[in-house]
Amino acid sequence: MIASRRRWLISGSVAAAGVAGGVAAYWWRRRAQRDPAAEAFWALTLDTPAQTSLAMATLQGRPLVLNFWATWCPPCVREMPVLDRFYRDHRARGWQVLGLAADNAAAVREFLARTPVAFPIALAGFEGIDLSRRLGNLSGGLPFTVVFGRDGRLQHRHIGETHYEQLAGWAQGFS
């Protein structure tokens, strides 16, 4: 009788420890998946060159290529047509592209008048470099591109000029 009660108590304790361990593991995984930098990005509202506001939260729910660039950055300027082509080719499949200019509004408006793009542009000013650092751009260099999944989590980071094949390859992973 005492031996069976002892076995029952030990079994119950082991089961309770297993449940507690499972709950702790679930909580730890959920905590690890949380990305404060991505959450801060999605909470932003930025101005556009057209002097309107763009809330980043309106872009959630679909994959997003976020490109940090500036008009004074030669590789940034070279990749704008590539980003535009990617956007035109993939928007029907739900892809979005957002150019986040680490530049002043007048320079961006002048650039876009000469080199229009179909995707939206937002103005981050020089604070955009700090934002890019929080998203993983350790060197603070431009251009810097990140890809967010449908769930709003960061999927890819790339410092330097992107190429169409690279963007299309990332998009394949979401098909």
Q: Where do the domains of the chain lie?
A: 2-33, 37-172
Tokens of residue 23, six digits: 């709950």
Q: Write out the chain's pLDDT in tens, 175 residues.
A: 666 666 655 555 554 455 445 544 444 444 446 799 999 999 999 999 999 999 999 999 999 999 999 999 999 999 999 999 999 999 999 999 999 999 999 999 999 999 999 999 999 998 999 999 999 999 999 999 999 999 999 999 999 999 999 999 999 987 5
Q: What is the DSSP letter of 103?
A: S
Report the pLDDT value the prediction gives residue 173, as an integer from 0 to 100.
Answer: 80
Residues paired with 54 in a beta bridge? 46
Instruction: Specify the length of the chain in residues.
Output: 175
Q: How far is CA 46 from the centre of its chain?
A: 16
SS3 content of the chain, % helix, strand, coil (to 5): 50, 20, 30
Q: Which of 131, 111, 118 is nearest to 71 (CA)?
A: 111
Global confidence as pTM: 0.81
CATH code: domain 37-172 is 3.40.30.10
Tokens of residue 16, six digits: 């309770």
Tokens of residue 76, six digits: 């940034």
Report the pLDDT value the prediction gives residue 27, as an integer from 0 to 100.
Answer: 41
Report the pLDDT value the prediction gives residue 56, as an integer from 0 to 100.
Answer: 98
Report the pLDDT value the prediction gives residue 28, as an integer from 0 to 100.
Answer: 41
Residues paired with 154 in a beta bridge? 148
Residues paired with 96 in a beta bridge? 64
CB 86 within 8 A of CB 96: no
Report the pLDDT value the prediction gives residue 5, as an integer from 0 to 100.
Answer: 61
